Chains A and B, each alone.
Chain A
């Protein structure tokens, strides 16, 4: 899908912590290989057992809106024709306890509600700096 905030909006700078999340094309979260704990955002150390042995976990990508706010004032010139847009925090069904930030599509921003069921979708983008193909997780409302 096209980018919610437009093709001109900067893409994340990829690093060891976020590369899989922003490129895999499935919702990939960090999971500890030693104890199985899932944490987000990723860290160098497992917050549950302090192991450094951390890998990825492919989530099914089903979630729920835990909070939503609607940005109406464009804080950056590149967003002037993108407001209003919904910003949200999403809980992930198969990774309890964490929240993932994102935008919400498939509903007017003002109509998005806490409790709405959502499913991950992916924006396609390319890093101008490195040429890497990105698949940026976003959230589509699938039920109320």
Chain B
């Protein structure tokens, strides 16, 4: 059973104090667009998603007193507070480094803010309009390489190692080599995302099913990644309102409790090192998440894993404890990931590949929908919904949502 917050008796430990003390009370998103197709600016997209999340929670914009996002978010809190007419701003936060690997850590930062009483209603969000600002995944990030072959970039870009696809391919190639994993295992991840997106009208790939033959026939981007191993780049925004579970109970909707949240990395630190090659850097995240949650991978009813690329999903699933590396291909094969009745319900909205690449935040909203019973690929009796943020970069993060008692 999911942990429930104790509002009267003092908690027995700090982990106990955190478990389920905060919840997502509302979610919202803009329409999702193909890259460059948004009729709105990125800031307007952020405002749309935030307004809808606040309305969904049954709150007013004036109730919001904090903002959290992650990784180079351009839509800064003071600008949002002004545009949205907040009464006051009491909490801003952004987990450091990487990209979508901080997506669940952002929820953790919001949880910390409301649990500790620093703020009451914190909006966690992500907005991107790559048509407006250039492609996140473009060589060297927005702006391209140009004069920027400096500092850390020099070690890789000099050799044409330019994008997350290249870096994740190097991890994936080693993982496949070490554990005898075939291209079909990567294909299964892409197929599941596309199949689940066919049930989701919000999904950009809705109406565009993918077949195994089409996957294999597609051009290579960087071997071992075909075109369909790589998520598209999109425009859109998504947001969630985090408050205490106690406050959330007085709101009209069904809250999704934040049962556990973990982020970080153990040594060695960094994207490439001898000891972590072929890794998604999620062993420590998994250890802390399950310790905090008081349960294990076998207790999860539905899982979303950030798939900017298919390969690192396999590593993340192993490191989170779902299967050993030598058994991961079998774990994902034979349609075991597809649909609401899947043996392992996975990326039920379509994820970054099928729904939209909102740097994984669409997965936070999908998990809340699963807890509420409102997914377009609804798994039966969801008590716990897991989100694993971007694998392959560090520090990683994950959040486990639970149904209220």
Contact = CB atoms under 8 A, between A and B. Distances in A.
Most buried by B among A67, A76, A102, A136: A67
B222 A73 contact: yes
Contacts of A72: 219-223
A55 interface: no
A75 B157 CA distance: 11
A99 B274 contact: yes
A103 B278 contact: no
B222 A70 contact: yes
A101 B223 contact: no
A9 interface: yes
B149 A67 contact: no
Contacts of B171: 67
Contacts of B220: 70, 72-73
A69 B158 contact: no
Contact of B154 (A13, A70, A110): A13
Contacts of B177: 67, 114
A91 interface: yes
B222 A69 contact: yes
Nearest to A14: B154
Interface residues of A, number: 39
A75 B139 contact: yes
Interface string A111-126: 0001000000000000
Contact of B273 (A99, A102, A114): A99
B277 A76 contact: no
Interface string B137-172: 011000011110111101111111111001001111
B223 A75 contact: no
Most buried by B among A22, A91, A99, A110: A99
Given A73-B219, A85-B160, A101-B161, 19 more contacts: A5-B159, A5-B160, A10-B147, A10-B157, A10-B158, A12-B149, A15-B151, A67-B170, A69-B173, A69-B224, A71-B166, A72-B221, A76-B139, A76-B162, A89-B272, A99-B274, A102-B159, A114-B174, A136-B158
